[in-house]
Chains A and B, each alone.
Chain A
Amino acid sequence: MTDYYREYLAVAVLIGAGLAMVGGMLGLGKLIRPTRPQPQKYVTYEAGSDPVGGWGQSNVRYYVYALLFVMFDVEAVFIFPWAVRLETLGVQSLISMIVFIVILALGLVYAWRKGVLRWA
């Protein structure tokens, strides 16, 4: 094992502990809780009346937010390494990053002018 992965030893132990706790809680619950099945108990909740139709529909607009989000999140991939190494990279990288961010901001302005960011 290299040093890099060694740091994750504790994380692995914690994953085990977390899984054991949730599994233990669910298992213990299974042992001591009552089970008296009735068909009405397994109907989904809809304010007391019988549910109508299947699943609800969600607006296709959410898809556009997801695309915009990908844009900003992928940009974070470039910004994080730059931020950590700015001291050695110096002025030139600062200017390039500002140009990069301004171009991204233009993308947001475009989406905004196109009416993507409206919710009412």
Chain B
Amino acid sequence: MIASDPLLSHGIDLEVVLIVIAKTIVVFALLLVLVMFYIWFMRKVIADMQNRIGPNNAGPWGILQTLADGIKFFFKEQSIPDTADRWVFRLAPYLSVLPAFLAFSIIPIGGKVSIAGHQTYLQLADPPIGVLFLLMMSGVGLYGVMLAGWASGSKYPLLGAVRASAQLLSYEAAFGLSVVAVLLHSGTLSTRGIANAQAWTSWHSFVTDWYWSVAIVSFVIFVIAAVAETNHPPFDLVEAEQELVGGFHTEYTGIRFAIFFLAEFMNVITMSAIAVTLFLGGPSGPALGFLPQGGFVNLWIMPVFWFFLKLMVLLFGTVWLRASVPRLRYDQLMDLGWKWLIELSFLAVMVTAVVVVARDQGWDRWIAVPAAFGGALAILGLLRLCMPHRDETVSEVV
């Protein structure tokens, strides 16, 4: 099933191109404004949790604080260290911010609407390989961090870059595998198709149709791996201030530094939006029953409202994490990735596959599902028995 934007299916004329450009600008501006408010929101909420006031001078409730900080960065002198690889040093900020933007382009923000007589989705692009595009962008995003650290020609940034690569490698496998559960249920890679498969039919859709419940193990793994992939606390070893000064961006100053921060927060927002799309139904949610079904409010406003409501809930969760969980130690981070998440995500894929096949073949669900879980637990137990114990010495290969 290839879901594709009806806007582009009848050839491209000037009007279509203009609509595409307009949508791009709206999404672009939306993302920048979201970042601006997210940083303010984060500082305010953390301040509340730590019994402080937080930013309160720039604008009402300090809401313009991020803008003020951003403007300040423009006036700061730039320095490129003598030891740096100058070309790569300048390239790295672009490489880290572009993937964060691009991943957002395939997020379904709203339903199908009609602009100037053209039917289109409130979504920038809907490639048939949507989910692979997401994974690709999360992988490419690493290059910005890695090259920034390497090109600085300095010790702390290099350590930060190596940590970033090791961390991404450790969590990318679990991340990709946790998405597979969604694909098994939806049978499509297109993000619009996945959102449609979670459409709201009645109040029990929340549990029966949205994938967070039918793939709960994968959802938990996805959240952990996504937090780790965005280098968000408690997985922010890449820029651990107490150990690495600033990590990969130690040598960056002024506006280039600001671009790295923009990319980082944009990644958090994009990842949350991906989680909403894959597991929480995307823009689906109850419509307002007292207004006409095809009216402006139910067609345009409500899906966008539900999408942003879910996004806000997840973003609040990320702030809460940042405020309350201490940073992992390096070996704990690697243990969690390699020794738990990868195995659990393999088992989750197998159990989900059995459940999906059982549904399709009409097997008795009360036998198939417990049997699948039992089998998975048995395999996990066997694996654990094979592994070295805490005090056992193992031969060294490296």
Chain A positions within 8 Å of B, measured between CB atoms, are 1, 3-4, 6-11, 13-15, 17-19, 21-22, 25-26, 28-30, 32-36, 41-47, 51, 54-56, 58, 60-62, 64-66, 68-69, 72-73, 76, 79-80, 83-87, 90-91, 94, 97-98, 101-102, 104-105, 108-109, 112-120
Contacts of A42 in B (CB 8 A): 79-82
Contact, CB under 8 Å: B166 / A101: no
**Count of chain B residues with a beta carbon within 8 Å of a chain A beta carbon:** 96
Q: State which of A13, A17, A83, A117 has its C-beta within 8 Å of the C-beta of B183.
A: A83
Please report the C-alpha to C-alpha distance between residue A60 and residue B162 in the assembled complex, in whole angstroms. 11
Q: B55 an interface residue at 8 Å Cβ cutoff?
A: no
Q: B184 an interface residue at 8 Å Cβ cutoff?
A: yes
Please report the C-alpha to C-alpha distance between residue A25 and residue B105 in the assembled complex, in whole angstroms. 21
Q: State which of A46, A109, A114 has its C-beta within 8 Å of the C-beta of B383.
A: A109
Contact, CB under 8 Å: A29 / B73: yes
19 contacts between A and B (CB under 8 A): A6-B8, A7-B5, A9-B8, A15-B98, A18-B102, A22-B259, A32-B75, A33-B254, A33-B255, A44-B82, A45-B154, A55-B153, A68-B338, A90-B361, A105-B346, A109-B383, A112-B388, A113-B387, A115-B388
Q: B113 an interface residue at 8 Å Cβ cutoff?
A: no
Q: State which of B82, B331, B342, B346 has its C-beta within 8 Å of the C-beta of A120.
A: B331
Known interface pairs A29-B74, A42-B81. Does A1 touch B101 (Cβ–Cβ under 8 Å)?
no
Contact, CB under 8 Å: A101 / B349: yes
Q: State which of A1, A34, A54, A101 has its C-beta within 8 Å of the C-beta of B77.
A: A34
Contact, CB under 8 Å: A58 / B159: yes
Q: State which of B76, B105, B173, B387 has its C-beta within 8 Å of the C-beta of A33.
A: B76
Known interface pairs A56-B159, A79-B177. Does A113 touch B394 (Cβ–Cβ under 8 Å)?
yes
Please report the C-alpha to C-alpha distance between residue A112 and residue B165 in the assembled complex, in whole angstroms. 20
Contact, CB under 8 Å: A25 / B102: no
